[in-house]
Amino acid sequence: MKEAMFGAGCFWGVEAAFRRVEGVVDTAVGYSGGHTESPTYEQVCSGRTGHAEVVRIKFDPEKVSFEELLHVFWGCHDPTQVNRQGPDVGQQYRSVIFAVDDDQRRAAEASKRHLAESGRLPRPIATCIERAGPFWRAEEYHQRYLEKHGRDSCGRP
């Protein structure tokens, strides 16, 4: 198994998008990229911890490639938004790829460059590519939130 970690706005919908991918064996939502150890949701929402809401993905590389996960990532949010997605505003909603190794970093950079050169986006890509650091699992009520509440990845019943 391999791991990947993405931030693309509110983690509920992002998690739901990745859970539908064949080869993804597990997901967890949480926080990464900040400076506070073991932050709570309230602390992250304050904007003072520096964390992004993220989804950590465990996947079987025999069934799904990291490049395919990147395709899902680009498609499940607007990567041109800076520190926001839709009505959610703040650095915790930033678009970020946390690469767990150099291969993922290279693949993420190539994918970002390809998308930028495609002309499909109306504005420059704001997504950052950073080295993965600690992942802090979010509170249990956030895990698989949309599944538990009978909603799709857009929050609809």
Hey, what domains does the chain have and what are their CATH numbers?
A: 2-148 (3.30.1060.10)
Q: How far apart are CA 156 and CA 24, in angstroms?
A: 23
Among 10, 76, 128, 154, the active-site one is 10
**Model's pTM, two decimal places?**
0.92
State the DSSP string of 91-138.
Answer: GGG-EEEEESSHHHHHHHHHHHHHHHHHT-SSS----EEEE----EEP
* Residue 128: active-site member: no
Question: pLDDT tens for residues 67-121?
Answer: 999 999 999 999 999 999 989 999 999 999 999 999 999 999 999 999 999 999 9
pLDDT band with cut points at 50, 70 and 90 for residue 24: very high
How far is CA 23 from its chain centroid?
A: 17
